[in-house]
Chains A and B, each alone.
Chain A
Amino acid sequence: GAGVSQTPSNKVTEKGKYVELRCDPISGHTALYWYRQSLGQGPEFLIYFQGTGAADDSGLPNDRFFAVRPEGSVSTLKIQRTERGDSAVYLCASSLGRRSVQFFGPGTRLTVL
């Protein structure tokens, strides 16, 4: 079956611009996670959704980062006033419930020039 998909696969933007990254989870998965991975590091947790609500946003680095999941399926990670330090691979994962194995998408590589 279809796995987690993320679009775009690559995004190049300029410092100060606004970007949106999209995640389509596996159908029926109620839990959705965003992670960020910098070069040479393991993924870093950003935010967790259970259904439509953000149950844990403790990993968002600052108020420039925001994520939504309005219908409990697709999620969008939004970054305002991008900075060069935001350059990373942004990974999305979903799971059947919060007690279940997480399945990851291929990631979106964000480059801020």
Chain B
Amino acid sequence: DAKTTQPNSMESNEEEPVHLPCNHSTISGTDYIHWYRQLPSQGPEYVIHGLTSNVNNRMASLAIAEDRKSSTLILHRATLRDAAVYYCILTVYGGATNKLIFGTGTLLAVQP
């Protein structure tokens, strides 16, 4: 299974954009890039996913490098409720399972 590398922690100020990086240099052509986040004392929550093209939804944007060896999750205006651990995960759709392999993620702190 291909691995991802993320910074252990990041800080942001409320109302400002946040760019969370993820490196996945061993990504294969069939790997989708997923982002989940986990708020304190809760289960992980799906944020966004993509394969090759940049993606936008109501929560965030996902920017994928042209060579797909890295990606960035963009929160356009951070709020205090966005303070969480953010996980970048590679998964293969169409494989035997859809299991998620989590790393340790990036702990995002949002200052008022």
Question: Which of A's residues lie within 8 Å of B, judged by CB?
Answer: 4, 31, 33, 35, 40-45, 48, 55-56, 59, 91, 93, 95, 98-107
**Are B43 and A33 closer than 8 Å at their CB atoms?**
no
**Are B97 and A104 closer than 8 Å at their CB atoms?**
no
Cα-based distance from A48 to B91 in the complex (angstroms): 14
| Residue of B whose beta carbon sits closest to that of A57 | B97
| Known contacts A42-B104, A99-B93, A101-B49: A106-B98 contact under CB 8 Å | no
Which 9 pairs from chain A and chain B are nearest by CB?
Answer: A42-B102, A104-B43, A56-B97, A45-B99, A98-B98, A48-B97, A101-B46, A99-B93, A104-B44
* Residues on B with beta carbons closer than 8 Å to the beta carbon of A45: 99-101
* Residues on A with beta carbons closer than 8 Å to the beta carbon of B44: 43, 91, 93, 104
**Are B98 and A95 closer than 8 Å at their CB atoms?**
yes
Q: Which of A35, A56, A102 contacts B96 (CB 8 A)?
A: A56
| Known contacts A31-B98, A42-B87, A56-B96: A102-B103 contact under CB 8 Å | no
CB distance from B58 to the nearest CB of A (A): 14
**Are A93 and B43 closer than 8 Å at their CB atoms?**
yes
**Are A44 and B43 closer than 8 Å at their CB atoms?**
no
Q: Which of A44, A98, A103 contacts B97 (CB 8 A)?
A: A98
**Are B98 and A48 closer than 8 Å at their CB atoms?**
yes
CB distance from B48 to the nearest CB of A (A): 10
**Are A43 and B102 closer than 8 Å at their CB atoms?**
yes
Q: Per-position contact with A for B90-112: 1 when CB-CB < 8 Å, else 0?
A: 00011011111111110000000
Q: Per-position contact with A for B23-51: 1 when CB-CB < 8 Å, else 0?
A: 00000000000000000011111100100
